[in-house]
Amino acid sequence: MTPPQTPSRRRFLFQSAVLPAATALPAWARASSAGGRQLDLLNTHTQERLDLVYAVGGDYLDPSLSRLNLFLRDHYTGEVGSMDPLLFDQLYQVRMLLGAHMPYEVISGYRCSETNAHLRQKGRGGVAKKSLHMEGRAIDVRLPGVPLAELRDAALSLQAGGVGFYPESQFVHLDTGRIRRW
């Protein structure tokens, strides 16, 4: 029987340096190593930023979904809706396809019916009467460093819902509705 070995000073110093550094990794790096799905978002209206793991394997993380719902609230009224987690999967998959690491810039997430009606009345183009934004099933985004057409094409390749292209307003619309494009 061999006596237990005491760790060398070199091993101790290595472990002391590496373990804290591993916990300092950004969420996207921790998520990929743990089989998790992560999002990094910046709200262009509130300037809030959210970087979190929202799902691991086939399980969505309820606290993360709640934080995403609050983050993607109607920025006009503050009303919080319930966002479709499949929308987060689309964002995650598009980001992986593009190999992007910058946060998505969110132009619009959830919209209450009053805000939607107000935007339609103001004559803002592209605001549908029965917008999926009101159901928490749509988001308007751009991704810094990625040409808007490439973002659109990556979203279209998923065949996971509607994709709208708004180059004049510098965003792409993604939703979990039927597969269509405009």
pLDDT digits (tens, 9 = 90+) for 74-124: 999 999 999 999 999 999 999 999 999 999 999 999 999 999 988 888 875
Q: What is the CA radius of gyration of the chain?
A: 20
pLDDT of residue 3: 45
Mean pLDDT value of segment 144-163: 98
Return the ∠ at Cα 175 (arms to 174 and 177), rounded to 5°. Answer: 145
Instruction: Give CA–CA dist 15/73, Å, rounded.
Output: 42
pLDDT of residue 125: 60
pLDDT of residue 22: 37
What's this model's pTM, rounded to 2 decimal places? 0.79
